[in-house]
Structure 1
Amino acid sequence: MASAGPSNRKRHRHPGSADEDSHRKRAMTKQRECSCKSYNLYMLGVVGGGTKRSPTVTNDFQRYDFEAKKWSQARSFMDGPKRTRFAVATRDDAIWVLGGVVEKPGTSGGVQIRYEKSVSTYNRYLGHWKPRSAMKNTRADFCAVVLQGVLYAIGGEGTDRGAEHELITRNSVEVYAGGGTWHLIPRMLYSRSSFASCVGGGRIYVAGGAADGDYKGSIEYYSTARDQWTYVAARLPDAFPTSFGLAFVNEKLAVVNGGEISVISTDMTAADSPKSEISVASSQPPFYDAFALDGELYMVGRTAKNSMVLWKCRPPDNTWEELPPPLSPSDSNVMRIALIKIRACGNED
């Protein structure tokens, strides 16, 4: 499908109630007047116990203040059935939760899995959730990112007509730039689910994942200027897991996989391989998610006792700092989390 590129699309804000508009205007005015440059990290939907296909889900919703170095419980998570395997991003100063799966009892005593295409946003000033326009396709184990103010829902797996139909691993990509409508843009070169994605240098990078039981070690990126996906010559290591972190830091891709952190140059040739430019001490826990902020690499992991941890690394000099741990239960066996960073300004929750 040809596209003029999402960066050229006009953005439109849905009109809200008069009361909500008044609150929003006061909040935005306060934000413009504030010179605060700290960020908040939100963590949603921690899963404790079970397996990927049959997890025990909690609607946990907590916030980390980078300036105060303190975690707190945010206001309640979305109403309705608990979900997992969703994606999360931030756009227009709001938290967007997209897709995922909801489990409910089946008619014969089993469990029925419903794949979602619904979308909800959290207004951190008003402290409530709001349903938004649904995506065109159901998606789970996918990625959502924002580039140049446009929200992208990328890949994943889903069904075309509900839980009773065949599961599909998608390479489709849809975008939301406002106006209440999602639009399809050019597809990825590979179908992927359970992969990693990040934004950097004006591009969207995706790496790894699986499709039909096969591991995908390839890396590709989307350029809004060209409106197409392009391979990165370098590949992930063989037998790479489908649960890892990807971040763009200092003009390179950092791949976080358990006790290893590899750095990939986006202009590497096929003969090159990822390099371990960041050292991880044996005493540090395995990391499985990552994001970059102001040239520093933040990683989430878990200890031998399954307690969640948050660490920070400064890549140039390879210095580490352990940050206060999240408020999650210490008995979690499987933890699926969503990390988002929002510029903080004033009291939020």
Structure 2
Amino acid sequence: MLGVIGGARTSRSPTVTNNFQRYDFDAKEWSQARSAMVGPKRTRFAVAAHKNEIWILGGVTKIPSASGGVKIMYENSVSVYDRESGQWNTRSDMKRTRADFCAVVLRGKLYAIGGEGTERGVAKTRTRHSVEVYGDDGTWQSGTQMLYSRSSFASCVDGARIYVAGGAADRHDCDGSIEYYCPTQDQWIYVAVLPATFTTKFGLAFVNSRLHVVGEDEISVICIDACADRPRVISMASSQPSFYDAFALDGELYIVGRTSKNSMMLQKCRPPDYTWEELPPPMSPPDSDVMRIALIKIQSCGNEDKE
């Protein structure tokens, strides 16, 4: 199942939505979930599939300020959706507030990585290189930090490693760098530099031993050689407009998001041919565009997470 969660409606005064849509790969159709996301309406959050639940982590919310305006609040709260009961619940808050970060599951562990947030008593935001890991005891523990602080980046897993790429830091972009985390060594390792700067609206997917960086204007194909310590850029494949995310499923590369004509889209291809197939797009809110979406990729049979 593919889920598109949250977002915002564009208008003279943009409003955040708790919309939750699901895509059935067998039926090739979208449907509305039984219940919308509970809790504060948020954007810039992270999503992950863990233990047959959909986890919504962090992000930002808006509350009225004393001056009559709107105050931006960075969240560390966690909401989870049980697919069997259709109910939303809460879990332990993360140690730090986070927005524009990534959450991934590797070998049964949930990781909250990077992003930006505020420290207690300090209004100024800070880009993070810290990592948190959700433990079996139901609490968050500090993990090994990334080499670079980054927010608005992309991540994926290949079954043995967590990859992160691109993003922005407090003063500069992260040099378009890619790094990966190896749990057996418990360390982050620098990989390579992207051929272009990617800081917003892009995705990362590992398909057929290649790392695909899916951006607004192009798809970079980076070859991962199992016998080498570092990958190498081998080509720039295809050209598509305005993506939001990418993921791998059964050897195919999927891309989902908004086109340059402000319509929603879902496409797939099978590398290395890169012949794209159009699939039914997500349902946009009436008379509006989805400004930001979050994705969840989980098996319809309800087994362990599949990213």
TM-score w.r.t. structure 2 length? 0.91
Match of 1:247 in 2: 205
| Contact 1:154 1:173 survives alignment (8 Å) | yes
Q: Does 1:47 align with 2:3?
A: no
Amino acid at match of 2:249: L
The change in CA–CA distance for 1:144 and 1:88 in structure 2 (over 3 A counts) is same
Amino acid at match of 1:151: L
Q: CA deviation at 1:336?
A: 1.3
- CA RMSD of superposed structures (Å): 2.2
Which one has a larger percent helix, Structure 1 or Structure 2?
Answer: 1
CA distance in 1, matches of 2:203, 2:39: 29
Q: Does 1:130 align with 2:89?
A: yes
Amino acid at match of 2:77: S
Q: CA deviation at 1:59?
A: 0.7
Q: CA deviation at 1:271?
A: 10
Q: CA deviation at 1:78?
A: 2.5
The change in CA–CA distance for 1:167 and 1:55 in structure 2 (over 3 A counts) is farther
Aligned match of 1:86 in 29, 41, 45? 45
Aligned match of 1:275 in 207, 224, 235? 235
* 1:254 aligned counterpart, secondary structure: strand
Match of 1:75 in 2: 34
The change in CA–CA distance for 1:332 and 1:245 in structure 2 (over 3 A counts) is farther
| Contact 1:263 1:275 survives alignment (8 Å) | yes
The change in CA–CA distance for 1:272 and 1:316 in structure 2 (over 3 A counts) is closer
Q: CA deviation at 1:331?
A: 4.7
Q: CA deviation at 1:270?
A: 8.3
* 1:262 aligned counterpart, secondary structure: strand
Larger Rg: 1
Amino acid at match of 2:184: A
Identity percentage of aligned residues: 66
Amino acid at match of 1:48: R
Match of 1:144 in 2: 103
Q: Answer with 188-197 or 257-266: which moved more.
A: 257-266
Q: Does 1:61 align with 2:20?
A: yes
CA distance in 2, matches of 1:265, 1:337: 28
The change in CA–CA distance for 1:106 and 1:274 in structure 2 (over 3 A counts) is farther
Match of 2:138 in 1: 180
Match of 1:198 in 2: 156
Q: Does 1:105 align with 2:64?
A: yes
Q: CA deviation at 1:213?
A: 4.0
The change in CA–CA distance for 1:70 and 1:270 in structure 2 (over 3 A counts) is closer
Aligned match of 2:293 in 325, 334, 337? 337
| Contact 2:102 2:112 survives alignment (8 Å) | yes
| Contact 2:221 2:234 survives alignment (8 Å) | yes
Aligned match of 1:223 in 171, 182, 195? 182
The change in CA–CA distance for 1:71 and 1:219 in structure 2 (over 3 A counts) is same
Unaligned regions of 5+ residues in structure 2, if any?
303-307
CA distance in 1, matches of 2:21, 2:289: 19
Q: CA deviation at 1:87?
A: 0.3
* 1:79 aligned counterpart, secondary structure: coil
The change in CA–CA distance for 1:86 and 1:271 in structure 2 (over 3 A counts) is closer
| Contact 1:102 1:116 survives alignment (8 Å) | yes
CA distance in 1, matches of 2:286, 2:178: 34
CA distance in 1, matches of 2:95, 2:136: 14
* 2:298 aligned counterpart, secondary structure: strand
The change in CA–CA distance for 1:117 and 1:136 in structure 2 (over 3 A counts) is same
Q: CA deviation at 1:109?
A: 1.4
CA distance in 2, matches of 1:180, 1:59: 25
| Contact 1:157 1:167 survives alignment (8 Å) | yes
| Contact 1:149 1:177 survives alignment (8 Å) | no
Deviations 1:226-279 (A, max 9, x none): 0000000x2112443432110011111001112311111245888954521x32
Aligned match of 1:303 in 259, 268, 275? 259
Q: Does 1:120 align with 2:79?
A: yes
